[in-house]
Chain A
């Protein structure tokens, strides 16, 4: 394994491997200290960043941070690498690649063409030498469009996952949150429930319910019950109307094993969903969630920093052409991302890396009550990601997930972002919001004073 080094004022900083160099170049965060892979101080970190900037991009194709022989994610990354697409930047170093990305040579078309030629380690490396404004500017140039029953990711659009979770999966409680979300113009990315339990009967009941609601009100969106891929496959086998198949994924084979999955199982899930042919404008049928720290949490990190491993999860995602990829950035807790500052940086890195790799990247802009973060931090990240062109965010009543016990962006927050940044929901959904009378005709941000007729009828039966 080659040794990397950087000499600063006569002092030689040595890095024992490419993985070590990436880890020490990574901006400070608690999870890398927990893993024992972080730089010991800021000077060593910058030395690592300088050394990393001089590493040729093609090095990442030959020097594998997780062994090819023992890890199917590495094999996926290397075996699927598109050398022709890579040719545009193959002569560059990591530092030169940053300059190229900032330059006028990098525009939406060239970036889309380049994506199959990039590996997760390349984009992770360049993100480590980017400032926040670079992460925003470069990601904003990327345009990734995905489709199922509507079109996600167009320029000037910001979609939301309506997340109507309920602690006991009570159908009426869930329906109440769905009404709230729809009336606030949320739900075009997906109406997605985290079920309280993984039982196949409870899951199929929820799938049926969401399907009924989407059909009854003719909503141009898709549903998802966020259960294990094997449970979704079983539900499909029993005839349930599954739109999107969900799975949490990570960047190493061992971490995926801790989630109880393999690439073959994801393939099986994708094929099962495709077999139902439920998409009307496209066939992106997968919904993935990720988050820095998941591999370390499963003791499956191979001594690699959490941000690089997170980018490797995106290689898993892109294999299955997802409709949505969601980095649940602040959910994992303070042992991985300690405070608002670390969460904000990580959210922007994840979005940047996902977009460069060609993914419809969203972010669950969130925090838990044991992290040193609050609503102000989330407002900062939401605004920055909005400027960076985030594909979708979560929408939940009053920012409070009463099932998963954490705080994410609210229905109101989505309208804030749309208002200050001039963004709109997916076009099919926007048209539905206006035709159904939820928002005033011609004004995507003017809410009606009265409940539209079909919803009024539904509520009339309640006391």
Chain B
């Protein structure tokens, strides 16, 4: 939000906050000022606009053809699938349907020959609550992740794209593909400031009916959030550990950064560094 000069005579009505320079360190809506103790008109209406735009993001439809083309250009085999939720309104009110494939998609995967030896990992791309997040981030993330896996000898399944997808549909896809690990790339719930945030969920030995405790999550992957490189680093760590220990979920902590001792850890911030 740009600082606007305070019009003469209005300073007594709308008070600026004397910590405005902190705005450069976060995209949070800090130092908005106050009229009385309430939100001044300008930031109030900026919020209303952001909400209107986020509402639009929820209803944006994934450009599947474009995504498929980009993946194929990178040498991936691509399979298009759809959840049992027929459309957006049904998707929003029936998460159970978004967690399962529709009959045609299931039949498609069942008709394919299971790879031998089995795939080590299957990437599943789902629109989730923000197709914008997939369009902005999914291919770029795979561009970082996939070469690292190929270097490590991981056998990668065809990439699947699931329309009207919830996280758990990845488990059904992974199971039907016979993959050792499924990695679901999904559009997260749009925020006011982040309508395009990608989430990644990893499950070891995926199968229909697993719940959140069986998955590890890396969230907020986007331009102004977690970088593709850092997300790939975390995911590779989680996948390697999942395979080594034979599990995923709450019993598999993300300790990708190593284990510095508590006394050595320094929390750099201006409040305590001064």
Where the two chains meet, the residues of A that have a C-beta atom closer than 8 Å to any C-beta of B are: 30, 34, 164-168, 170-180, 183-184, 196-202, 204-206, 208-209, 212-213, 216-217, 228, 230-231, 234-235, 238-240, 257-260, 297-299, 333-335, 338, 368-370, 374-375, 396-407, 410, 412, 415-416, 419, 445, 447, 449-451, 455, 457-463
Bound Cα distance A328, B30 (Å): 23
The number of chain B residues with a CB under 8 A from chain A is: 76
Contact (Cβ within 8 A) B189 A405: yes
- Which residue on A lies nearest to B26, using beta carbons? A173
- How many interface contacts (CB-CB < 8 Å) are there between A and B? 244
A369 to B54, Cβ gap below 8 A? yes
Task: Decide: A260 and B267 in contact? CB cutoff 8 A.
Answer: no
Cα A299 to Cα B210 in complex, Å, equals 10
Enumerate chain A residues within 8 angstroms of B211, measured Cβ to Cβ: 258, 298-299
Does any Cβ of A come within 8 Å of B192's Cβ? yes
Measured between C-beta atoms, what is the minimum distance from A434 to chain B in Å? 16
**Which of A299, A402, A405 has the most chain B CB within a 10 Å cutoff?**
A405
Q: Known: A34-B96, A230-B250, A405-B189. Contact between A398 and B268, CB under 8 A?
A: no
Known pairs A202-B257, A369-B191; A170 contacts B58 (CB<8 A): no
Q: In the assembly, what is the distance between CA of A257 and CA of B212, in Å?
A: 10
CB distance from B218 to the nearest CB of A (A): 7
Shortest Cβ distance from B84 into chain A, in angstroms? 14
A259-B188 CB under 8 A given contacts A173-B25, A177-B26, A208-B262:
no
Q: Does B255 contact A (CB under 8 A)?
A: yes
Q: Is B68 an interface residue (CB 8 A)?
A: no
Which B1-44 residues have a C-beta within 8 angstroms of A?
Answer: 15, 17-19, 21-23, 25-32, 34, 36-39, 43
CA distance A80 to B21 in the complex (A): 54
Across the interface, which residues of B come within 8 angstroms of A334, CB to CB? 92-93
Min Cβ gap B40→A in Å is 9
**Shortest Cβ distance from B267 into A: residue:** A209
Is the CB–CB distance between A405 and B30 below 8 Å? no
List, sorted by A's number, 9 A–B pairs whose CB atoms are closer than 8 Å.
A34-B93, A173-B26, A201-B259, A238-B261, A298-B211, A374-B51, A400-B28, A402-B191, A415-B38
Report chain B residues within 8 Å CB of A406.
189, 191
Asked if B105 is an interface residue, CB under 8 A from chain A, the answer is no
Q: Which residue of B lies closest to A458 (CB)?
A: B274
| Contact between A257 and B22, CB atoms less than 8 A apart | no
Chain B residues within 8 Å of A412, by CB: 32, 34, 37-39
